[in-house]
Structure 1
């Protein structure tokens, strides 16, 4: 018998069971390093950018990148946020940092993102120095008031970033899609069956839906591309969006749907929110479904292909978010995915 959603919108039987505690075990990766682990010559180079000696550093929660992510305090009382990674030990993260440097330098000052103060790159280590935003991550489970502030900020963000102010040559391909890859990979199918038997049975239909929906993702808006609670900072009623290496240009509603796809993990139903939000309330159903298909496909393809050295916290988070996105898509499409 197929699983069915309970009152909180989560699958409650079989291997697709999710609770808030199970779905959100961590919002921070397990491979962060402290300031003391940064090589001395690299730390000295960062201090030259800061204009002073670092006397204190506190590693920050949120996000899954390897390397340093810390608020630092200087001898003269100044503060900044610094993140850094080595190309030798974390090449993908270092590549993301280099891309984020280029993006951050071209974001308009009207965008609610921390300002990049300077950057360090010696060919191996790359570091970004941002203004320090004395804020915090949104509470999880989502609190309705905080969620409403963030949803309003997403609307403002799309207005500020349409048309995109960033040269597309600086950007990566959107991290979307994966059902076709899973459909053509035996091991992927087997792993998917342990996470979502329903998706494994409907894998070919999901691949078709993903392919058909691709044109609906096109647009002129610069999108964050990774809009989850761990990339959002709150300071009173102000909302800041951090970590921009995965930005891409597409349809204005994509970031919103990505964010909403995970709210069921907090016991909230995303559908009524989408029906009233200005970025989605007038859309054809297929436009939202296209994002959900591509988004869930990327997350679950990545989770099922992760090797044994991949941070298990990242895999757990991607699995939870992918299943949540898939559940919303399944609810919206009913029995016929391709109807």
Structure 2
């Protein structure tokens, strides 16, 4: 797993004084310490706060002038977080601030840590079991899809139309040689992605917090409504970066073991397409950590898909 924290974070003290003051007013106390946290790639603040009265909170914030995409994600996450039902294992949104430029979200502070990378078997089992419970809890979706994002899936057709085939080869020679096949798989994906489950949409290790008695899914701006197996396949494809065989887990997991083979193939193609296109189109100013992660995750999905397709041809 590459570096799992973005390289363009700023600190609590880097925020304008008026935004810090507004956040303290929402919290009802003075912030006496702010510790930046690992995990995730948003440009802006991601810090645990300690208040003078002993209270704690977690804040994430971004400027729509400096990082308009991140500010847009933050605004969407406010809407999603406000609508998550009680009992969902996600940090509770306490307050939100939006002055038109700066957007800040204040969450309850979760005592926990990111999963170990490479994955430890017991932790992966624990997270996969939590993903099953989460899918059951969020089916049918409690949130109107109109509030949500489009799934972060697909990109092969767009990459080809943009003339990006030349940028593809350095990332994956196999994908470059099989671009037409990947486009066909991607364009056949819609029926297998359809469903009624509210999905996290970005379920990677850097968006998971392990508490003593709970597994929390954090960062929900990319939530969408679809088939319940999608978050599990996202997680398993990334686990292969730890040397885990995702196919072995997929054959046993309750949300994937009974899927027709093509349902997994088309998801992996669409999943890799989004990530590889992101990496292929990254400009010189892009966060190198984000590009490195997108590249590694896209390649991991492609490697699993390639093995699956080779097994089909052999049989």
Q: TM-score, normalised by structure 1?
A: 0.91
Matches within 5 A, 1:300-311: 300-311=276-287
Matching of residue 251 in structure 1 with residue 227 in structure 2: yes
Deviation, structure 1 residue 335 = 7.2
- Give 3-state SS (helix, strand or coil) of 1:31's partner: coil
Q: What residue number does 1:219 align with?
A: 195
The answer as to whether partners of 1:149 and 1:237 remain within 8 angstroms in 2 is no
- Give 3-state SS (helix, strand or coil) of 2:189's partner: helix
The answer as to whether partners of 1:260 and 1:270 remain within 8 angstroms in 2 is yes
Q: What residue number does 2:166 align with?
A: 190
Q: What residue number does 2:239 align with?
A: 263
Q: What residue number does 2:80 align with?
A: 103
Which of 91, 112, 115 in structure 2 is aligned with 1:114?
A: 91
Q: Deviations over 1:11-59 (max 9, x none)?
A: xxxxxxxxxxxxx231000011111101001100000001100000000
What are structure 2's unaligned runs of at least 5 residues? none
Q: TM-score, normalised by structure 2?
A: 0.98
- Give 3-state SS (helix, strand or coil) of 2:279's partner: helix
What are structure 1's unaligned runs of at least 5 residues? 1-23
Structure 2 distance, partners of 1:147, 1:335, is 25
Structure 2 distance, partners of 1:131, 1:290, is 37
Which of 73, 97, 100 in structure 2 is aligned with 1:123?
A: 100
* Number of equivalent positions: 314
Matching of residue 286 in structure 1 with residue 236 in structure 2: no
The answer as to whether partners of 2:186 and 2:266 remain within 8 angstroms in 1 is yes
Structure 1 distance, partners of 2:167, 2:303, is 18
Q: What residue number does 1:30 align with?
A: 7
Q: What residue number does 1:232 align with?
A: 208
Write out the 4+ residue segments of structure 1 that deviate beyond 4 Å after TM superposition.
none
The answer as to whether partners of 2:156 and 2:277 remain within 8 angstroms in 1 is yes
Q: What residue number does 2:37 align with?
A: 60
Matches within 5 A, 1:170-189: 170-186=147-163, 188-189=164-165
The answer as to whether partners of 1:292 and 1:326 remain within 8 angstroms in 2 is yes
Q: What residue number does 1:139 align with?
A: 116
Matching of residue 76 in structure 1 with residue 38 in structure 2: no
**RMSD over equivalenced CA pairs, Å:** 1.2
Structure 2 distance, partners of 1:229, 1:148, is 13
Structure 1 distance, partners of 2:238, 2:219, is 18
